[in-house]
Amino acid sequence: MRYVDEFRDPALGRRLIAAIAAEVRPDRRYRLMEFCGGHTHAIANQGLAALLPEAIRLVHGPGCPVCVLPVGRLDMALALVRRHPEVILCTYGDMMRVPASGGDSLFSARAEGADVRMVYSTLDALAVARSTPHRPVVFLAIGFETTTPPTALALTRAAAEGLTNFSVFCNHVLTPPAIAAILAGAGEGGGAARPLDGIIGPAHVSTVIGSDAYAPCAARFGVPVVIAGFEPLDILRAVLLLVRQVNAGRVAVENEYTRAVTPAGNRRAQALMAEVFAVRPSFEWRGLGAVPASALEIRAAYAAWDAERRFAMPPLVGRENPACDCGAVLRGALAPRDCRLFGRACTPERPQGACMVSAEGACAAAWTQGPARRDQPGDVNRRAAGGAHAG
């Protein structure tokens, strides 16, 4: 047996689903939001929403790092490579296809002649800089606290090596402020369509920041948080723990993912992040608007490796596709299939919005369930009646 198999055991899954059903009260509904794109993908891939009682609705949150980056920041990257054709821009593969203002993308910029390269890690970007010392190399960095330490490490290595042709365009964002923004009703038209009863806390992020990082938010808004792993039984157990907290009127941060997450998190990673980055006063999020203290910028000590400083990159305000509802999906106000473009003009082959690009995007995850399926309560009931298993 592989280690992961016990977290996909169908018999244990059925027992968990039965336990959840036994805990659900007939006089109430439970709206639970996952704040991790990995959870969104796992829920869709494993069909977990269909296995839960009708009273429980899983709501997608802004946990996809590609999705939350506002159009204006992508426009800045495009302006950089067009204004400075000598620049080599490195970034992760999903960022290549995200639509910018007017439908442009990094792929289209590359087709025009810009040197835009897909990399798998910050180490790859450093290797490009070492191999082409005569050209400036910019790494377009995105992501939550999970991918921030590798970017910090790349900056410290570049400084130690005197790699002066390397710099970072920093777009790293922070999870707890985003959770607070959602619960406070951030974004056009407010936050989620109805108040949330619980949060399924992210897995990888929590290995870095620790479970204690969510306590202030849970206490402030009176909403319980349960950190979960990525496997089906992880998520089902997190749902069970949240339902129990809601029924008891209890608000706490619980850690289901104890095999990887500790209360304090990874202190060494936190120290490295603090050395290299400072918190921005405010940062724009797709779907949420400007969120205070929700992102990171490169400290003055590493200014020589800060692309925004080096190339004097002015801030830009992007133009979203007005027909795309990605922002509303990110804050839980709409389900992916409620977007008028889903499965019509917008597909994984022709994404009109960021939520359809990344595998962690809610729209891309919904697509894996079948383009014709509708997330209506009646469909959920019929699928649940067809049998319950977690593998």
> pLDDT tens digits for the chain (391 residues)?
466 777 888 899 999 999 999 999 999 999 999 999 999 999 998 999 999 999 999 999 999 999 999 999 999 999 999 999 999 999 999 999 999 998 899 999 999 999 999 999 999 999 999 999 999 999 999 999 999 999 999 999 999 999 999 999 999 999 999 999 999 986 565 555 568 999 999 999 999 999 999 999 999 999 999 999 999 999 999 999 999 999 999 999 999 999 999 999 999 999 999 999 999 999 999 999 999 999 999 999 999 999 999 999 999 998 989 999 999 999 999 999 999 999 999 999 999 999 999 888 999 999 987 654 444 333 333 233 333 323 3
Strands (E), the chain: 30-34, 56-60, 88-91, 115-118, 137-143, 166-172, 198-201, 225-227, 253-255, 277-279, 282-285, 289-292, 296-298
The answer to whether position 375 is within a domain reads no
Same domain, 137 and 276: yes
The answer to whether position 113 is within a domain reads yes
How much is the pLDDT for 7?
84
Domain count, the chain: 3
The answer to whether position 389 is within a domain reads no
Same domain, 84 and 220: no
Tokens, residue 386: 């067809």
Same domain, 171 and 38: no
Q: Sheet with 88-91: list strands edge to edge.
A: 115-118, 88-91, 137-143, 166-172
Please write down the long-range contacts of 74-78, taking CB distance under 8 Å and 24 or more positions apart.
Answer: 74/98, 74/100, 74/106, 74/318, 75/100, 75/101, 75/104, 75/316, 75/318, 76/169, 76/313, 76/314, 76/315, 76/316, 77/106, 77/140, 77/169, 78/104, 78/106, 78/109
Same domain, 80 and 170: yes
How much is the pLDDT for 245?
98
How much is the pLDDT for 138?
98
User: What is the domain range of residue 337?
Assistant: 326-369
Tokens, residue 144: 């939550």
How much is the pLDDT for 6?
79
The answer to whether position 249 is within a domain reads yes
How much is the pLDDT for 371?
53
How much is the pLDDT for 190?
59
CATH number at residue 28: 3.40.50.11750
Helix pair 148-161, 267-276: axis angle to 10 deg: 60
Percentage helix, strand, coil for the chain under 3-state DSSP, each rounded to 5 = 45, 15, 40
Same domain, 148 and 296: yes
Same domain, 17 and 141: no
Tell me the residue type at 272: L
How much is the pLDDT for 265?
97
The answer to whether position 379 is within a domain reads no
Same domain, 208 and 286: no
Same domain, 183 and 305: no
Tokens, residue 319: 């133009």
The answer to whether position 317 is within a domain reads no
Sign of CA dihedral 175, 181, 182, 187: negative
- Angle at the Cα of 78 from the Cα atoms of 76 and 79, rounded to 5 degrees: 65
Same domain, 21 and 153: no
Query: What CA–CA distance (Å, rounded) separates 288 from 181?
Result: 7
The answer to whether position 2 is within a domain reads no
Same domain, 162 and 183: no
How much is the pLDDT for 359?
83
- Angle at the Cα of 319 from the Cα atoms of 111 and 110, rounded to 5 degrees: 10
How much is the pLDDT for 8?
81
- Among residues 272, 237, 285, the alpha carbon closest in space to that of 69 is found at 285
Which of residues 215, 235, 255 is at a domain's end? 255
How much is the pLDDT for 151?
98
Same domain, 195 and 238: yes
CATH number at residue 299: 3.40.50.11740
How much is the pLDDT for 202?
96
Query: What are the backbone angles phi and psi of residue 49, rounded to the nearest 5°?
Result: -60, -35
Q: Which residues, 6+ apart, have CB-to-CB distance to 343 below 8 Å? A: 337, 367, 371, 372
Same domain, 353 and 210: no
The answer to whether position 5 is within a domain reads no
